[in-house]
Structure 1
Amino acid sequence: MADSTPLLSQPNSVKSESSPPPLEKHHLSLDSTIERCIGDFGWAQFLQALLVSIAWIFDAQQTFISVFTDAHPAWHCTSNQLDCNSVSNICNLPKNSWAWDFPAYTSIISEWNLECAASIITGLPASSFFLGCLVGGLVLATLADSSLGRKNMLFLSCLTMSLSSLLTVFSTNIWVYSALRLVCGFCRATIGTSALVLTIELVGKRWRGQVGVIGFFCFTIGFLSLPAIAYLNRISSWRSLYLWTSIPGILYSLLVHFFVRESPRWLLVRGRKEEAVATLKSIAPPSHSWSFSEVSFEQEMSNNGNVYSTIKMLVQKRWAFRRLLLVMVIGFGVGMVYYGMPLGLGNLSFNLYLSVTLNALSEIPSSMFIILFIGKLNRKISVLAFTTLSGIFSIMCALKGEVWTRLQIGLELISFFSACTAFGILLIFTIELFPTCVRNSATSLVRQAIVFGGVFSPMLVAAERRDGISSYVVFGLVIGCCGLFAACLPETRGRALFDTMDEEEHKEKSACNGVGDVLA
């Protein structure tokens, strides 16, 4: 465990007593001195957070691009035969009696003649992407906490995701296409986690919720840009969408490599104090002056020596493993709705471009809500309330009748808004639940649980392509039941961020002892 003397101290500070102060006092000293050195919240921190958060734009585009590239195109009858006009399934019609409204190359369905293929085939590319995200998260989750760090993980993930997306342009069939989507998902698995953790660790606890929401806004911008790009290219090949989203991502990756700074907290935990000082100086106001104090990080470095040691640390500590399981279960339910609803918009009796735009726009009030109220929101109650609300309105989308059909898009938007808000609060909640040495790994695993929920969504939507409303019942039941586990987690609102497992465990035991004293 790190020595309890402050890492950064003001000049002329009085030396500490020979006996070390309590463990919690060390943490508050470290946390407060870092905040004092970099100021409350300055322009340098904002610019760094903004540059890092832009990665979410490209992440969102690759996540939801299949809504348009894999969509079932509109068709029309080429003859005036009554049986053609009365049949809704083109698989029951002769090939020469109908035609696509747009050129065949506008969608993979029409280009590769998949209109009558099994749902497992048409849903394979999207499911492959989410499966790649799941595997990539499990394989790459600990690299940002161990050897690579937050910045390098973000750079490599964004670059390889964009390159694999560019290669998708050259797909010749559904199998090659699905394989490349699998690679793309694998590469992008840690983008959101690395970006979120890096931005939050650049600021003090007062601003971590608000700064974290910058990434959510950028994700919304990326999501919102898709229907615009798709509409402008609606008569062009589906491959053009991958060109428009991959090339800017490659250029952005270079900006990350040259201009983004590493998390000072991670550098300190890894014992790279000189680099941490350089980072703090680069974002600290010029008027701030401070100096180093010697601090030992030998034990913490030994814990981080192995790439997968952070996973071992999470599993070995009973309190950490319990927290991790609970937030992952909640994440699974949130992910099924968050990723499933946009993919299922084509099954609603509403314009696809407009419905996707409305869904993307609904993330803006969600992010605004989090920005304005995250400092006042009880994490447990908020996650429980929004998952329940999302579940109720998702189930209501499946109600039959002319009146309910008219209200369908409104009910879907309320459910999606609630899922988005639960998503954002859950990620911030997770970051507050775990210390610096395992924070990125824990957050990555929770995001993989969210993605795991998304793995099943394309199959459900594809299976219900002719009447996809019943899939919303499944979405609602899953998120509603999984959200109930939030009641078993400790509250973290307003609590300081800890850096080591020992500090977090010390706080956990203190809280348990306090509850025991009250009950006694």
Structure 2
Amino acid sequence: MSTFYFFSGGIALLSGIAYVFQTWRSLYIASSVPSILFVFLILPFVSESPRWYLIRGQTDKAMSVIRAIARANGRSIPDNVCVARDEEVMDNDQKCNENRSKEVVSGSVIDALRSRLTRIRLILVVGINFTCSIVYYGLSLNVVNLETNLYLSVLVNAVAEMPAFFLTAVLIDWFGRKPLGVGTQWFSGLFCIVGSFVGNKGVWKVVRMVCGVLGIFGMAGTYNLLFIYAMELFPTVVRNAALGCATQAAQLGAILAPFVVVLGGGLPFLIFGVCGIVGGFLTFYLPETLNKPLYDTMNGMADGENKA
């Protein structure tokens, strides 16, 4: 969750970069440099997920990654320890290298929709990501309607996100994913609705700007939380597909956000507020995942839910 500090830090830097490169072509080139650096300086050092190796039947590689993680943390893993998928059961005296399944377990969006457990979750997560994206990107773009300094407003919004990341990281294990998700979205929605009813002249301009900052504060916390929450809702075999759908919904919301912003006046704030409230209601129907196991396969998840 701490990686989001760098996300907001990038937005804060973007305000300065945009001030220097004020034509869209030069800004486009300048903002592409970090992606190029990532490909050559970061990506080669990122390891594959042990869980992905596990569902692909490559248990040796999964254990290799886990042992590398242990060494980096100054720990060690005993030789007789191994990993197994949810549905695989071993006796205490069974060796790790015996009867390990090499079968590749795959899954898709269709599999997620077929299962009663994951179907509702997927629909809700897609809806929540869609509404959150409209609010988050909409408030970021709506600074043009506040009639304040554009570069300063973007910087203030980016800085306002950082305390939200800290609070969600601290509170997520105290209150749980579900209550925190509902609370952050309703917090954002409430201040957006308030911002829609205040004017944009004199002192009210400041009030509307504060409502926008608090709105993006709440929605930034939701975004930070959603990445953890959504991953815990789906087993490894369909997790990538489910998160891919959620990401596509978020991108669709980001595409629609500018069309809301151009409406001008207090209407964009009202729409953002409604989206925040609706997203909070959708979160009510998701199960809590705090202290619940992460499953690898659909069968393992079904068995675990039945036992619970």
Q: C-alpha separation between the residues in 2 aligned to 1:470 and 1:404?
A: 16
Output aligned runs, 1:172-183, within 5 Å.
none
Alignment equivalent of 1:276, drawn from 56, 62, 70: 62
Which has the larger displacement, 213-222 or 249-258?
249-258
Q: Which runs of 5+ in 2 are unaligned?
A: 83-95
How far does residue 289 in structure 1 lie from its aligned partner after superposition?
A: 4.1
Percent identity between the aligned chains?
33
Which residue, 255, 277, 281 being the options, matches 1:480? Answer: 277
User: Does residue 425 in structure 1 map to residue 211 in structure 2?
Assistant: no
Q: Is residue 58–residue 102 contact of structure 2 (8 Å, CA) maintained in 1? A: no
Aligned counterparts of 2:63 and 2:177: Cα–Cα separation in 1 = 33
Per the alignment, in what secondary structure is the counterpart of residue 493 of structure 1? coil
Provide TM-score, normalisation by structure 2: 0.87
Shift of 1:356: 0.3
In terms of mean alpha carbon deviation, does 430-439 or 356-365 score higher? 430-439
Output the CA distance in 2 between the equivalents of 1:224 and 1:329. Answer: 28
- Say whether the 8 Å CA contact 1:333–1:482 is kept in structure 2: yes
CA displacement at 1:263 relative to structure 2: 0.9
What does residue range 259-408 of structure 1 map to in structure 2 within 5 Å?
259-285=45-71, 288-291=76-79, 293-294=96-97, 296-298=100-102, 301=104, 303-304=105-106, 309-401=107-199, 402=201, 403-408=203-208
Root-mean-square deviation (CA), in Å?
Answer: 1.9
Q: Does 1:496 align with 2:293?
A: yes
Please give the alpha-carbon distance, in whole angstroms, between the structure 1 residues aligned to 2:122 and 2:33: 36
Alpha-carbon deviation of 1:367? 0.9
Instruction: Give the secondary-structure state (helix, strand or coil) at the position aligned to 2:243.
Output: helix
Name 2:5's counterpart in structure 1: 217
Measure the CA separation in 2 of the matches of 1:230 and 1:274.
48
CA contact (8 A) 1:387 1:418 kept: yes
Given that 1:397 and 1:411 are in contact with CA atoms closer than 8 Å, whether structure 2 keeps it comes out as: yes
Q: Does 1:461 align with 2:261?
A: yes
Matched residue, 1:252: 38
User: Is 408-417 or 419-428 further displaced after alignment?
Assistant: 419-428
2:234 pairs with 434, 449, 465, which one?
434
Quote the Cα distance in structure 2 between the aligned partners of 1:491 and 1:400.
37
Cα distance in 1, alignment partners of residues 134 and 77 from structure 2? 49
C-alpha separation between the residues in 1 aligned to 2:129 and 2:6?
Answer: 21
CA contact (8 A) 2:198 2:208 kept: no
Contact 1:397 1:404 in 2 (8 A): no
Matches within 5 A, 1:58-69: none
Counterpart position of 1:412: 212
Deviations 1:122-168 (A, max 9, x none): xxxxxxxxxxxxxxxxxxxxxxxxxxxxxxxxxxxxxxxxxxxxxxx
- How far does the alpha carbon of each residue in 1:341-397 deviate from its partner, in whole angstroms, 9 at most, with x for none? 111111112111111001111111011112222221222211111211211111211
Matches of 2:248 and 2:75 in 1, distance apart?
42
- Greater relative contact order (CA < 8 Å, ≥ 6 in sequence): 2
For residues 287 and 449 of structure 1, what CA distance do their matches in structure 2 show? 40
Alignment of 1:85-100 (within 5 A): none
TM-score, normalised by the number of residues in structure 1 = 0.53
C-alpha separation between the residues in 2 aligned to 1:421 and 1:442? 21
Q: Distance in 2 between matches of 1:258 and 1:451?
A: 27
Structure-1 residue corresponding to 2:92 = none
Distance 1:284 1:461, change over 3 A: same
How many angstroms does 1:240 deviate by? 1.9
SS of residue matched to 1:488: coil
Q: CA deviation at 1:283?
A: 2.2
Cα pair 1:359 1:413 within 8 Å, conserved: yes
* Partner Cα distance (1:258, 1:425) in 2: 27
What is the number of residues matched between the two proteins?
A: 288
